Structure 1
Amino acid sequence: MRPAKRAGKAPARGPVRAVAAVAALAVAAFCYGTTESLPVGLLPLIAGDLETSKSAVGLLVTGYGLTVAAVSVPLTKMTGRVPRRYLLSGLLAVFVVATVVSAAATGYWVLLAARVVTALSQAVFWPVAVVAAAGLFAPEVRGRAAAFVFTGGSLAVVLGVPLGTWIGQQAGWRAAFLGLSAIGMLALATIALLLPTTDPGENHAATGTAPNVRRYWTLVAVVSFGVGGVFTFLTYITAFLTEVAGYSEDAISPVLLVNGGADIIGLACSAALVDRGPRALLAGAAGLLVTALLGLQVFGDRPLMTVAMVALLGFGLPCMATAIQARVMEVAPGSTDIASAGTSAAFNIGIGGGALVGGLLLPWLGVRATALGGALLVACALAVLAAESRIAARAPRPEPAGRTPPGRSAQRPERSG
């Protein structure tokens, strides 16, 4: 990846410095991703130590996701004028302090409050971090830079949560949170040292290359349907593996490891392809996800086919996530930070909505139906994406001659792809 030529007040000096800054952002993404889901692995330990119910500990994850979805856009707007180095360093400082408070919590409500504060910082981190990373490199490879940040989030699922769970089992759940705070501190120091102190508007990735309001809102709908479909199944994958595929509980972790390994491969492949055509990659990823979910519906009682389809699902999801972010940086109608916050909120809505849809299907049609329900939702995302050009081509209402609507500026025509 080539570093961007345009620099701010304290430019990253050379490619090594830029790559190191993006690596620190990926490490920070790893910390946030691990922290979000870690209570699931430590659920019995936290519940026993704080003398609360397991369902209450589960709410630490649900409430975290809902907080991120609700405040991403407004908080990103509020912080839109803060130079990226100061903003990201401040967010990570909040993360470190809140995670230490989580580790020291003597009661459930203190832990819940610390989790909410962490979620507030994460709500701004994701949309700002990917755009900041993209701005460090030449425009033609900025999708690849953003994909590198996503690698941290994927490693959180594949490595961070299992490792944090193991540490919690060996040394207590508080040790796992303290370890994350230490890693977060390392990322904070690196970002504070290496990230340029640029004003948000000076970054070439601050605005879309082909802004289009209709295409952006179409993308938001695609995110909601696509992610919702995946998590309609993924939320209940453990029950599917045991009740439909016939795997024992001991075999679940290896199967999920296959899914995680495919996730990393999907990220690597999508990083190589995303800058050639984000919309095409998004359509291809959605097609893979529909195929995987339909395959699970049809062949779910065949263990080897189930593993193959779970791997395909793991491959397709990061391809979709990478393509979504790159597409945001094309069609964002205004600030890419705010547009990214909107798709981040839609992503979290999809996760929660998918879990809800799957939960409704479970008692009615059984766990196998979660795969079919998920496939139908992702197919809806594909249909919306196919209709994007027609939606964008709808002629706006004509304005009176000689009058320009307040706040409206001419939009540049969109590039193909």
Structure 2
Amino acid sequence: MRARIVLVALALSTFFFVTVETLPIGLLPQIAGGVHVSPSSVGLLVTAYGLVVVVATIPLTRLTHRWPRRRLLTALLLIAAGATALSAIAPSYPFLLAGRVVTALSQAVFWAVVTPAAAGLFPPRARGRAIAVLYAGSSAGPLIGVPAGTWLGQQLGWRAPFLALSVAGLVIAGIIVSLMPDIPPGEGHADRGSEPNRARYRTLVVATAVTVTGVFTAITVITPFLTDVSGISSSLIAGVLLIRGVAGMSGVVVAGFVPERHTWRALVALTALETVALALQGLWAAHAGAAVVAVAAGSFALSGIVTVNGTRVLQVAPAGTDMASAAVSTAFNVGITAGALIGSLMLSTALRGAPFVAAAFALGGVVTFLLEPRLAARSEPERVDA
């Protein structure tokens, strides 16, 4: 029961970080007016956040990888809660940006350690289900956290949801520091790859970056694509995004039942599904209902990929799983940044073709995964000290 409570707290912490990262998107006008800057400057609060995570994840994880996870996760949540409170009371844009940067620095380390920490609470046979519960929290961020935060900001002002999230971070930190076992670093079964292999791990990193680039190319333009190309009314977009969110949550649940021996096959199948869904989104663009089905299928596949990725990295990590997770997290954020850039460029020039470009990247991810057995055959399994 204690381990389950801690797992729920860790899932809530993923919800906390995802919501904090993306909340400004829903409150652009209110924040811009509150600190007297343009909406595009507020948009930089999200872009800069992602870039900080990309740059800081690996060096900060290397710096802190010998810390016991209970203390490290508690410290990261306390820092993030304090920085989010700073954002809430910021009198000007520079203070707001500073709070965002500090929060991003804590998140950079958080994503590297939270998956091994959650997996280490349970026996290896329950690893997949534990990771599914963990990532259900991150999937609930866009589905529940951002809409709820946006509504609260519209009712009480943009500072209110940031203050609420700060309090939530403090509560979660209290649960973790009180109940999480204080296991010395390197002594848990999830601290080392169970089937370490450099080639398989590198393939995972590359495939993640390529696939996520494609997915976020499409996600970046999803609203204008559905309204301008598929002809869906703006008033219905919230409902479509809700369907997409529910499909993503379903993907997390299904992926949690994938046995470790089938993680590679699952990643191939899910990435192929993502490729097909993106291509069909383009092919069915003129048919609103079919386009929504394709969007939902893509969301299901993406959430499944993220969840199975969490289990896969604990298998094939050639050294400590913290550093291995840090590199995969960096690859994911590189994909988000690159996809957002490509999508924004296509927004005004080739909106209709965005899903096809996204599908091409996702297909590259499928090919990369399919090359894994051949690459791994040339590389003996190995274990390398962190």
TM over 0.5: same fold? yes
Q: Deviations over 1:134-172 (max 9, x none)?
A: 001011221221221111111001000000000000001
How does 1:24-39 map onto structure 2 within 5 Å?
24-39=9-24
Whether the aligned pair in 1 keeps the contact of 2:78 and 2:170 (CA below 8 Å) is yes
Look up the equivalent residue of 1:201 and give its one-letter code.
G
Consecutive unaligned residues in structure 2, runs of 5 or more: none
Distance 2:322 2:142 in 1: 25
Distance 1:362 1:251 in 2: 20
> Is 1:185 paired with 2:170?
yes
Whether the aligned pair in 1 keeps the contact of 2:198 and 2:382 (CA below 8 Å) is no
Whether the aligned pair in 1 keeps the contact of 2:128 and 2:257 (CA below 8 Å) is no
Q: Secondary structure at the match of 2:232?
A: coil
> Is 1:318 paired with 2:326?
no
Distance 1:191 1:46 in 2: 32
Look up the equivalent residue of 2:356 and give its one-letter code.
L
Whether the aligned pair in 2 keeps the contact of 1:362 and 1:369 (CA below 8 Å) is no
Runs of at least 4 residues off by over 3 Å: 360-364
Distance 1:144 1:228 in 2: 27
Question: Which residue of the other structure, out of 203, 206, 219, is the alignment partner of 1:218?
Answer: 203
TM-fit CA distance, 1:394: 2.7
How does 1:148-163 map onto structure 2 within 5 Å?
148-163=133-148
Residue 111 of structure 1 aligns with which residue?
A: 96
Residue 127 of structure 2 aligns with which residue?
A: 142
Question: Which residue of the other structure, out of 217, 221, 229, is the alignment partner of 1:244?
Answer: 229
Residue 291 of structure 1 aligns with which residue?
A: 276
Residue 78 of structure 1 aligns with which residue?
A: 63
Distance 2:153 2:223 in 1: 22
Residue 380 of structure 1 aligns with which residue?
A: 364
Whether the aligned pair in 1 keeps the contact of 2:258 and 2:308 (CA below 8 Å) is no
Whether the aligned pair in 2 keeps the contact of 1:274 and 1:322 (CA below 8 Å) is no
Whether the aligned pair in 2 keeps the contact of 1:30 and 1:152 (CA below 8 Å) is yes
Structure number with higher helix proportion: 2
Residue 382 of structure 2 aligns with which residue?
A: 411
Look up the equivalent residue of 2:371 and give its one-letter code.
A
How does 1:334-345 map onto structure 2 within 5 Å?
334-345=319-330
TM-fit CA distance, 1:361: 3.2
Distance 1:165 1:368 in 2: 29
Whether the aligned pair in 2 keeps the contact of 1:86 and 1:192 (CA below 8 Å) is yes
Distance 2:344 2:172 in 1: 38
TM-fit CA distance, 1:276: 4.9
TM-fit CA distance, 1:359: 2.8
Look up the equivalent residue of 2:355 and give its one-letter code.
A
Distance 2:161 2:348 in 1: 35
How does 1:35-114 map onto structure 2 within 5 Å?
35-114=20-99
The structure with the larger Rg is 1
Whether the aligned pair in 2 keeps the contact of 1:144 and 1:274 (CA below 8 Å) is no
> Is 1:132 paired with 2:117?
yes
How does 1:355-374 map onto structure 2 within 5 Å?
355-364=340-349, 366-374=350-358
Distance 1:147 1:121 in 2: 23
Q: Decide whether aligned partners of structure 1 residues 395 and 138 sit closer, same or farther in structure 2, where only a CA change above 3 A counts.
A: closer
TM-fit CA distance, 1:296: 0.6
- Aligned-residue identity in percent: 45
Distance 1:122 1:313 in 2: 26
Distance 2:363 2:75 in 1: 40
Q: Decide whether aligned partners of structure 1 residues 295 and 274 sit closer, same or farther in structure 2, where only a CA change above 3 A counts.
A: farther
Residue 390 of structure 1 aligns with which residue?
A: 374
Residue 206 of structure 1 aligns with which residue?
A: 191
Look up the equivalent residue of 1:390 and give its one-letter code.
R
Look up the equivalent residue of 2:184 and give its one-letter code.
D
Q: Decide whether aligned partners of structure 1 residues 284 and 177 sit closer, same or farther in structure 2, where only a CA change above 3 A counts.
A: same
Whether the aligned pair in 1 keeps the contact of 2:216 and 2:335 (CA below 8 Å) is yes
